[in-house]
Amino acid sequence: MCYRAGFVKYFSLRKNRRCKISVFFRNFVCVMAGLYIHIPFCRTRCIYCDFYSTVGEELQGRYIEALLQEWRLRRGELRGERVDTLYIGGGTPSQLPPVLLQRLFDGLGKDIDFDRCREITFEANPDDVSPAYAACLASLPIDRISMGVQSFADENLRFLRRRHTSAQAVGAVERLRTVGFSRISIDLIYGLPGQTPDSWAGDLRQAVSLGLPHISAYNLIYEEGTSLDRLRQEGLVQECGEDLSSRLFEMTIDVLANAGYEQYEISNFARSGEYARHNTSYWQDVPYLGLGPSAHSYDRSVRRRNIPDLMRYIAQIEIGHAAYETERIDDNTRYNDRVITSLRTMWGLDLDAIAADFGEARRDYCLRMARPHIKNGLLAYVGGRLTVTRRGLFISDGIMADLLYVD
């Protein structure tokens, strides 16, 4: 999964939350950029989802034209930097018919050399991946598929209001491989009501058996305003306890490590060389442009967030106006962002880069705040980098919070 909507720039310091992140490692001259395209259409809304989406499929054709118009209006924000990675997320991009997907790529291809892109990811629902649809995807410049499987237990899928079954998820992987896709990622969710270590182990075993190069595993979050949160408030479901959540997370790390996966970010696991390149670029301060309602953009000094309303978005684009909110980023915000996002990764926080970008005093502050955690074995400090240890992973939110700078 992309962290969605153009890598939204806010964070939650709740353990294993599906963070939507922007990363600021260091300022450097870069000639590459990321492009995120949000496809907001869903046939049904999953019980846990708080991403912007709509069921208005009749607007799909008009929407694709609006996306291409927004690209033409805003491509100058990339300041001549080449599009290096492209991520098409949602919503449910696989709700788009082949003719509209072709139109989208034809329009973008007038300005973007897809052959030079290091990665082009497309999100799909397993039940949308028919043999014909898989062949359509293979005919386009897409080279990576991300599927929201969430569980291989049909009872869990029904509870989550997912449209597919376990068998359809396995079949989708097979069909994608048949047409030539090797870079396939799936999302799984743990911490579901009533889930046990044994049932989660079954999900992990099934995922490993598919031989996928990349797996993301997220703790279920009861987002405010979702159907899931309303069920909790009404006492109809109970949130997974902290002890069980930690146990399931630990199982995830161990099972996937034994199967040859590297935990390169708290919720993301990859076999050698199979990191999500689009996602990883955000940890290297690469600018990006987000197209579509609720999509976010970043140019190293400003964040922009498109309005989260499909009809208003289309109306504004059609009259030649891009509608977004703007946030200018100060040094304290950039420092805090970097602490949170860097410590979520296996590469950790580079204190030399902190000194170069924010001054020696800020590096000294960061190291001073980190020392109690280093002493307690929760952080490691090697080669000028701070990394969260295995023990520290389970309380990483608190560790990150201690290193933040507040005026």
Q: Which domains does the chain have, with CATH numbers?
A: 32-283 (3.20.20.70), 331-403 (1.10.10)
Query: Residue 330 burial (CB < 10 Å; 0-12/13-18/19+)?
Result: exposed
Whether the bond into 91 is cis, omega within 30 of 0: yes
Strand order in the sheet with 324-328: 262-265, 268-270, 214-219, 184-190, 144-150, 119-124, 82-90, 32-39, 288-291, 296-298, 302-306, 324-328
- Alpha-carbon distance of 160 to 195, in angstroms, equals 13
- Alpha-carbon distance of 215 to 138, in angstroms, equals 21
Q: Which residues make beta-bridge pairs with 185?
A: 146, 214
Q: Which residues make beta-bridge pairs with 328?
A: 302
pLDDT at res. 405: 96
pLDDT at res. 52: 66
pLDDT at res. 16: 35
- Alpha-carbon distance of 124 to 89, in angstroms, equals 8
- Alpha-carbon distance of 88 to 124, in angstroms, equals 9
Nearest to 295 by CA among 101, 63, 114, 14: 63
Interacting residues of 360 by C-beta distance below 8 A, sequence separation 6+? none
The alpha carbon of 311 is separated from its chain's Cα centroid by a whole number of angstroms, namely 25
- Alpha-carbon distance of 290 to 304, in angstroms, equals 9
Per-residue pLDDT of the chain (407 residues; tens, 9 = 90+): 554 333 333 333 333 333 333 333 333 334 579 999 999 998 877 777 766 667 667 899 999 999 999 999 999 999 888 999 999 999 899 999 999 999 999 999 999 999 999 999 999 999 999 999 999 999 999 999 999 999 999 999 998 888 999 999 999 999 999 999 999 999 999 999 989 999 999 999 999 999 999 999 999 887 787 778 787 888 888 888 889 999 999 999 999 999 999 999 999 999 988 999 998 887 777 889 999 999 999 887 899 999 999 999 999 999 999 889 999 999 999 899 889 889 999 999 999 999 999 999 999 999 999 999 999 999 999 999 999 999 999 999 999 999 999 98
Nearest to 293 by CA among 61, 91, 43, 78: 91
Give the amino acid at 361.
Answer: A
